[in-house]
Copies of this chain bind each other. A is one copy, B any other.
Amino acid sequence: MYSFLNDYSEGGHPNILKALSKTNLEQHIPYGDDSYSNTAKELIKNKINNPNSDVFFVSGGTQANLIIIASALRSHESVISANIGHITIREAGAIEATGHKINTIEKKDGKLTQQDISNILEEHDFGPHVVKPKMVYISNSTEIGTIYKKQELEELSLYCKKMGLLLFLDGARLGSALMAENNDLTLSDISRLTDIFTIGGTKNGALIGEAIVINTNKLKNDFTFHIKQRGAMLSKGRLLGIQFLELFRDDLFFDLAKHANTMAMKISKAIKANNFSMLTESTSNQIFPILPDVLIKELKNKYNFYVWKKIDRKNSVVRLVTSWGTKENMVNEFINDIKKINNNLDQKKEMQTKQITL
């Protein structure tokens, strides 16, 4: 069985494992204040071209999200998110458990616009009987594989500033978004246009780790207390620092994301060549083809992936995810298998039709 289930089926990039082994017996200052972590932070500040930003490392995405939101908001303030946002439907109530409401907006493509935010603000025009929206949560790429274009993010950012809203970009899959073929954003743009964002390591070559980047001064204040209070301050903080150092020392972070995207696009192209359509036009490492259930059933004998939802009586959407570690030969084999199975199914259908005609 080969897995296209997610982008965290493999371990970390070999360079990371090597670096961890090499530095293993050194003694270091704990809690993220070691020299590797500090160097990694400086590297990231260079890459985003923002020397005034603050950078912190934590273990996971849900953890990063809840720390960021809980540290930024007062208890009557809420965060706006698409209905398919990770904080809304994949974090077991983590945000609410810190006391905050999420205002959701139904969006097929998972992307928020100025108009969406404006609608929410209008609905919340009669405080103090309702919460006060104070932060906007977006993800890039989104949970459905789409990405923000530069102009879209510029407009959203401008509107948030105008309305006194904080803009938080969840970058669990930021690498893949930035390496998508139709992307026109840079890490530096992301830093310039958001108040706070994350750079996902776990889904892009790290064993574990997300970087939190704070661009707005007000949000920096006492941030480490919140990391500690939510149980996210590792005593061996070097574990995260060393990994981000490897990812950003050269362009490993971008190279790995590019590989994942290339693999996904290869599959995508092949699927379309077989005359199947896609649920969303994804250019990142998650694709959502609509396939016949009989085809899905056969593929499942050899590959592991997620059946997203039924489309009609005979077809379903599946989610296929590639990663930094996805093997090209397995992608080729998968593509061939689709073609082969599909042809067989066609022949079977043809024969059935003939029999019926006869």
Q: Which residues of A contact B (CB under 8 A)?
A: 2-3, 5-6, 8-12, 14, 17, 20-21, 23-30, 59-67, 70-71, 74-76, 78, 89-94, 96-101, 123, 127-132, 202-203, 207-208, 222, 224-236, 238-239, 325
- Chain A binding surface, main DSSP class: loop
A222 to B131 Cα, complex, angstroms:
10
Partner of A129, one of B76, B90, B132: B90
Whether B229 lies near A94 (C-beta < 8 A) is yes
Q: Nearest 4 CB-CB pairs, A to B?
A: A63-B231, A76-B225, A11-B24, A9-B27
With a CB–CB cut-off of 8 A, which chain B residues contact A129? Answer: 90-92, 228
Whether A225 lies near B20 (C-beta < 8 A) is no
Whether A76 lies near B232 (C-beta < 8 A) is no
Whether B99 lies near A97 (C-beta < 8 A) is yes
Whether B21 lies near A17 (C-beta < 8 A) is yes
Partner of A239, one of B207, B225, B231, B236: B207
With a CB–CB cut-off of 8 A, which chain B residues contact A232? Answer: 60, 63, 231
* A215–chain B nearest beta-carbon distance, Å: 19
With a CB–CB cut-off of 8 A, which chain B residues contact A2? Answer: 27
Whether A59 lies near B234 (C-beta < 8 A) is yes
* A171–chain B nearest beta-carbon distance, Å: 15
Q: Can you report 6 A-B residue pairs in the complex whose CB atoms are below 8 A from each other? A: A5-B30, A11-B24, A60-B232, A78-B96, A91-B229, A97-B229
- For residue A126, which residue of chain B has the nearest CB? B90
| A2, A91, A96, A236: most-surrounded residue (chain B CB, <10 A) | A96
A1 to B71 Cα, complex, angstroms:
36
Whether B230 lies near A97 (C-beta < 8 A) is yes
Given A10-B27, A11-B25, A128–B222 Cβ distance below 8 Å? yes
Whether B234 lies near A60 (C-beta < 8 A) is yes
* A322–chain B nearest beta-carbon distance, Å: 12
Whether A100 lies near B96 (C-beta < 8 A) is yes
With a CB–CB cut-off of 8 A, which chain B residues contact A100? Answer: 93, 96
With a CB–CB cut-off of 8 A, which chain B residues contact A99? Answer: 93, 96-99
Whether B27 lies near A3 (C-beta < 8 A) is yes
Whether B229 lies near A76 (C-beta < 8 A) is yes
Whether A233 lies near B62 (C-beta < 8 A) is yes
Whether A8 lies near B228 (C-beta < 8 A) is no
With a CB–CB cut-off of 8 A, which chain B residues contact A98? Answer: 75, 97, 99
Whether B224 lies near A128 (C-beta < 8 A) is yes
Given A12-B24, A26-B10, A101–B96 Cβ distance below 8 Å? yes
Partner of A231, one of B14, B230, B233: B230
Partner of A89, one of B89, B130, B224: B130
Given A10-B24, A27-B2, A91–B228 Cβ distance below 8 Å? yes
Whether A93 lies near B101 (C-beta < 8 A) is yes
A12 to B207 Cα, complex, angstroms:
14
A325 to B27 Cα, complex, angstroms:
9
Partner of A202, one of B78, B207, B230, B235: B235
Partner of A60, one of B17, B71, B128, B235: B235
* A325–chain B nearest beta-carbon distance, Å: 7
With a CB–CB cut-off of 8 A, which chain B residues contact A207? Answer: 20, 236, 239
Partner of A226, one of B25, B75, B202: B75
